[in-house]
């Protein structure tokens, strides 16, 4: 693959036999990721290899993909496998890890990549695992983030459906808010360039799934066994994660830009659980404990005060939009039944494994009927260019439309890896643990938009639905 401006580091990486290695390729998600990489990256000259712990399964995967010459590498993560794993990942420039639950088998792959000088991306979505890698943490306090920085290796978890739509969607909204405000100021100045202050914005995100077996209808049928057991596994790390969050409370308060006056701070205080029926979306909004808020806030903290082309985020709220109260009740009932079975020991576990056998995921026949719309509402207040004593409210609604969640994950993580491969020397950071938005957002967003323009239907597309700039009455306070 072509290398941009060559540093010694990038040319040493370029001499490796593979550009892209997919570890955990034999699982449900790993297979989708491998298929996308073979069909869309390998055909464009990217040297792809797959890896996992089971040679026979890898050969089976190669047959399914119809790629008899696809290199298959074997390495375990358990026990004393670190040398074996390191020598496998050393053969690639970028590694995508799809082996989960990440809380159990993610860290050995990350450490092997750091030791071998291979950039690491994964499809994790467990906040406790992201925190362990250093997301949302001060680099000096996190051993993995520090080691990655010293080794010049990028560690970028959560590059799948968790949390790229939320991360890049927020970036998209913040850019649009600033851009629409700038256009408004320019129009008021009769077309002349006007000095425009940076806006402070609040963003709300509503994830909605379409389709009979979708989460928004209260169904868990569209959830893969890997995601399912990962969610159960991550429950056992909740206490540790909550303690970590409490320890970072001061950092989060600082993020809220407490120096802002109430006139500058947009008001977006909705109840956590609410009925949403305006602004073009309808349903019950459930606060959703995914990795998205942690990732979004971490990205914004990385850019705090730096990027003039986008508004600065002061608050972020994240919801799952349910179709009805009945759908909400169904989801709660399913979730409670699963938790109860998981607590019943081996009998309960075997019932769950019968329901979601290893490798299960929504079948190919069902996937085209599932899609998702992730809505973003951004709002900011700025000085009215026509009268400095008054303010204008800038409001933007945009949506990230994706194909089925697991297929979208495959597109997003492989496109992220391609973004690293094509732009390694242009990325803002050379090593350390970063969110996808911080590591490559400014390049990945236009790359995905360009891709959307070439495929029908587009697997992932960010669109503006509405943008309004309106004067507001001066405060009487």
Ligand X SMILES: NC(=O)c1ccc[n+]([C@@H]2O[C@H](COP(=O)([O-])OP(=O)(O)OC[C@H]3O[C@@H](n4cnc5c(N)ncnc54)[C@H](OP(=O)(O)O)[C@@H]3O)[C@@H](O)[C@H]2O)c1
Nearest approach in angstroms of CB 414 to ligand X is: 13
Q: Which of 212, 170, 113, 198 is nearest to 445 (CA)?
A: 170
Q: Which of 130, 174, 453 is nearest to 307 (CA)?
A: 174
Interaction between residue 236 and ligand X (CB under 6 A): no
Applying the rule CB under 6 A, the residues between 157 and 196 that interact with ligand X are 160-162
Interaction between residue 100 and ligand X (CB under 6 A): yes
Indicate the SS3 state at residue 360.
coil
Interaction between residue 136 and ligand X (CB under 6 A): no
β-sheet bridge partners, residue 370: none
- Rank residues 166 and 392 by Cβ distance to ligand X and give the closer one: 166
The region of 20-28, 378-386, 430-438, 469-477 touching ligand X under the rule CB under 6 A is: 20-28
The region of 13-21, 220-228, 235-243, 322-330 touching ligand X under the rule CB under 6 A is: 220-228
Q: Which of 46, 99, 383, 421 binds ligand X (CB under 6 A)?
A: 99
Nearest approach in angstroms of CB 245 to ligand X is: 19
Interaction between residue 86 and ligand X (CB under 6 A): no
Nearest approach in angstroms of CB 15 to ligand X is: 27
- Rank residues 78 and 143 by Cβ distance to ligand X and give the closer one: 78
Indicate the SS3 state at residue 435.
coil
Q: Which of 359, 369, 428, 443 binds ligand X (CB under 6 A)?
A: 359
Lookup result for tokens 């699963």: 338
Distance CA 78, CA 98 (A): 16
Please check whether residue 379 is in contact with residue 266, taking contact to mean a CB–CB distance below 8 angstroms.
yes
| Tokens standing for residue 357 | 């056998």
- Rank residues 117 and 359 by Cβ distance to ligand X and give the closer one: 359
Distance of CA 270 to the CA centre of its chain: 24
The region of 59-67, 180-188, 194-202, 225-233 touching ligand X under the rule CB under 6 A is: 225-233
Interaction between residue 328 and ligand X (CB under 6 A): no
Interaction between residue 30 and ligand X (CB under 6 A): yes
Using CB under 6 A as the binding criterion, the count of chain residues that bind ligand X stands at 34
101: preceding bond cis by omega (within 30 degrees)? yes
Q: Which of 468, 427, 232, 462 is nearest to 335 (CA)?
A: 232
Distance CA 452, CA 443 (A): 15
Nearest approach in angstroms of CB 104 to ligand X is: 6
| Tokens standing for residue 333 | 């009932």
Q: Which of 170, 214, 225, 372 binds ligand X (CB under 6 A)?
A: 225
- What does 196-261 look like in DSSP terms, one character per residue? -PPPEEEEEEEEEEESTT-GGGT--TTS-HHHHHHHHHHHTTHHHHHHHHHHTHHHHHHHT-TTS-
Applying the rule CB under 6 A, the residues between 405 and 444 that interact with ligand X are 406, 409
Binding site for ligand X (CB under 6 A): 24, 26-30, 52-54, 57, 77-78, 98-102, 104-105, 123, 125, 160-162, 224-227, 230, 358-359, 361, 406, 409
């Amino acid at each position: 693959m072509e290398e941009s401006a060559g540093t010694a580091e990038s040319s040493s990486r370029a001499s490796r036999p593979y550009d892209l290695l997919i570890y955990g390729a034999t699982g449900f998600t790993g297979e989708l990721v491998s298929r996308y990489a073979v069909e869309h990256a390998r055909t464009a000259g990217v040297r792809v290899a797959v890896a996992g712990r089971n040679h026979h399964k890898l050969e089976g995967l190669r047959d399914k993909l119809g790629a008899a010459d696809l290199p298959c590498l074997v390495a375990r993560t358990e026990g004393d496998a670190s040398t074996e794993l390191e020598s496998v990942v050393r053969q690639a420039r970028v590694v995508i890890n799809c082996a989960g639950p990440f809380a159990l088998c993610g860290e050995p792959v990350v450490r092997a990549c750091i030791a071998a000088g291979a950039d690491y991306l994964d499809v994790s979505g467990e906040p406790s695992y992201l925190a362990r890698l250093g997301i949302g943490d001060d680099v000096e306090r996190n051993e993995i983030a520090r080691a990655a920085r010293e080794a010049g290796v990028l560690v970028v978890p959560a590059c799948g459906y968790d949390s790229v739509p939320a991360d890049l969607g927020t970036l998209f909204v913040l850019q649009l808010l600033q851009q629409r405000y700038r256009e408004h100021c320019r129009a008021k100045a009769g077309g002349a360039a006007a000095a425009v202050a940076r806006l402070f914005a609040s963003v709300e995100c509503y994830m909605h799934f379409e389709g009979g077996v979708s989460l928004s209808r209260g169904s868990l049928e569209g959830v893969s066994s890997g995601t399912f057991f990962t969610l159960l596994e991550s429950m056992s790390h909740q206490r540790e994660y909550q303690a970590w969050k409490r320890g970072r409370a001061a950092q989060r308060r600082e993020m809220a830009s407490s120096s802002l006056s109430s006139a500058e701070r947009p008001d977006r205080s909705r109840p956590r659980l609410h009925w949403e029926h305006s602004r073009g979306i309808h349903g019950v909004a459930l606060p959703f404990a995914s990795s998205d808020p942690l990732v979004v806030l971490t990205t914004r903290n990385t850019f705090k005060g730096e990027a003039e082309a986008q508004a600065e985020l002061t608050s972020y709220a994240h919801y799952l939009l349910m179709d009805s109260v009945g759908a909400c009740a169904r989801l709660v009932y399913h979730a409670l039944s699963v938790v109860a079975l998981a607590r019943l020991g081996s009998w309960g576990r075997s019932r769950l494994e019968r329901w979601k056998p290893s490798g299960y995921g929504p079948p190919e026949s069902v996937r085209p009927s599932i899609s998702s719309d992730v809505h973003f509402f951004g709002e900011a207040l700025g000085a009215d260019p026509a009268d400095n004593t008054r303010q204008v409210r800038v409001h933007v609604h945009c949506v990230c439309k994706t194909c089925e969640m697991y297929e979208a994950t495959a597109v997003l993580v492989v496109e992220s890896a391609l973004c690293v491969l094509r732009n390694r020397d242009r990325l803002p950071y050379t090593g350390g643990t970063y969110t996808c938005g911080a590591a490559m957002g400014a390049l990945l967003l236009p790359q995905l938009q360009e891709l959307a323009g070439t495929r029908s239907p587009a697997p992932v597309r960010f669109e503006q639905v509405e943008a309004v700039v309106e004067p507001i009455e001066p405060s009487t306070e």
